[in-house]
Amino acid sequence: MHPTSRQDPRVIRPLGRHDADRVLVCLGFCGGGTGAYRRWTDWVDDDTDLALVCYPGREGRFCEPFAGSWDELVDDTTETVLSVVDRPYVLFGHSMGGWMAYSVTTRIEHRGPTAPDRLIVSSCNAPNRGLTERDRFPRDDDTDHRLLSWMRTTGSLPEYVLGDPDLREMSLELMRADIGVRDTYRPEHGLRTGVDVQVLHGARDEVIDPGVAEQWAAVTAGRCHVDELPGGHFYTEEIWQSLPRHFRLPATVAD
């Protein structure tokens, strides 16, 4: 594995701690980019660097076509993760990003390179259930108004975008492209990860199945911790802003 170039548009390193003991690698949610995670720089310890993965079709990869399927995005994200991790790392994903983090982890384990020390998934059900109606949030048949409202709630749609028709249309195109990719997801039955998993979810998140703890425990041969936090799919604003303080990170060498 080789560290990625600092100019690599696939990865944003807001802290630039290239000598840190560990890397927290964050994968985006449906319709989102790296912006929602950049505010976490004040909430990771001094031994941890942040690496924010940018999917194709947005931000520095705006000129690249969107991924056409779940498998295509997994391939792209796996290569990106492997390019950035030259030391112990933890893989995090929220909502659709949680399933992506799980798919990337099992892909890396199958190929043989070093797997993450821990997998942290947020606001998502276990992937072995497949894509149920509960997981179709947002939906491909949602109106533009509903999708824009959802993106405002997630913090992935700044006010200046809402006031610009061209930027607003590009944001909707990105969201619908991600929904289309998510909807091609098919579970690999019998697949399990050997990595310890932490599952975070909001107490009022209607997406989360009541059996989430047992279902996630069934897809890992490692330990599984489930932590319920206040709020809904994106918790409360205060919780989301400081979410890393709830992460069960493994001890580093310095510890």
pLDDT in tens, 167-215: 889 989 999 999 999 999 999 888 899 999 999 999 999 999 999 999 9
pLDDT tier, 5 (very low <50, low <70, confident <90, very high otherwise) = very low
Are the CB atoms for 217 and 189 separated by under 8 Å?
no
Distance CA 33, CA 115 (A): 24
Distance CA 31, CA 209 (A): 22
Q: Answer whether residue 3 shows pLDDT above 70.
A: no
* pLDDT for 155: 62
**Of 100-114, 148-162, 193-207, 214-228, the least confident:** 148-162
* pLDDT for 113: 74
Cross-strand bridge partners of residue 230: none
Q: Answer whether residue 70 shows pLDDT above 70.
A: yes
Q: Count of CB atoms within 10 A of residue 40's CB?
A: 22
53 or 157, higher pLDDT: 53
Are the CB atoms for 26 and 37 separated by under 8 Å?
yes
Distance CA 193, CA 91 (A): 13
Amino acid letter at 196?
D
152 or 95, higher pLDDT: 95
Between helix 70-84 and helix 165-182 the angle, nearest 10°, is 100
Burial degree of 188 (CB within 10 A; 0-12, 13-18, 19+): exposed
Distance CA 82, CA 108 (A): 8
**SS3 state of residue 37:** helix
* pLDDT for 255: 53
Q: Answer whether residue 4 shows pLDDT above 50.
A: no
Percentage of residues in the chain having pLDDT higher than 70 = 94
pLDDT tier, 2 (very low <50, low <70, confident <90, very high otherwise) = very low
Q: Count of CB atoms within 10 A of residue 169's CB?
A: 12
Instruction: Spell out the residues 6+ positions from residue 215 whose beta carbon is closer than 8 angstroms to its own.
Output: 125, 126, 128, 129, 209
* pLDDT for 251: 82
- pTM here is 0.92
Distance CA 25, CA 2 (A): 15
Distance CA 126, CA 191 (A): 12
Distance CA 75, CA 243 (A): 27
Q: Answer whether residue 154 shows pLDDT above 90.
A: no
User: For the chain, what is the mean pLDDT?
Assistant: 91
Q: Answer whether residue 23 shows pLDDT above 90.
A: yes
Q: Answer whether residue 1 shows pLDDT above 50.
A: no
